[in-house]
Amino acid sequence: MTDPANLPLEAFPSQTVQTLRYADMDSAGHVNNAVYATLSEAGRTPVLYDPARGMPPEGCHFSIVKLTINYMAEMTWPGDVTIGTGITRIGGSSVSIRQAIFKDGRCCATAENVVVLTDSTARKSSPLPKHAREWFETLLISEQA
């Protein structure tokens, strides 16, 4: 498996731009570590929550069950970041998501996520329907990329 920090932004099928806020900085003058989790969420939301694609499936939501962030380089305000997002594994009810956060063309962090499709009433995992699986297949990143 290739280290996501070595992947170019173009390797990620979904890309989301976010503007850093002054409030994102901590007392050391760089973007606070907790903001990276928020940036990861901003990148995966367009993939998981797209009403035009029937996502999430009716009566369901996605629950994040794992988020691992690797901090590669310091980020400072001001500026925009681009979050590259792609799918690495499609399971029965879960999806693994790989992300990289770029600022000024440089990979500053990577994230590995696992989300589970959850029945909103029963509060239990639910199988991914065909249309969701087909959508996720269009977003697959090659493990060799």
Residue 14, beta-bridge partner list:
85
Specify the higher pLDDT residue, 2 or 28. Answer: 28
- Domain positions in the chain are 4-137
| Cβ atoms < 10 Å from Cβ of 109 | 26
CATH topology of domain 4-137: Thiol Ester Dehydrase; Chain A (3.10.129)
* 50-106 confidence digits (pLDDT tens): 999 999 999 999 999 999 999 999 999 999 999 999 999 999 999 999 999 999 999
pTM here?
Answer: 0.93
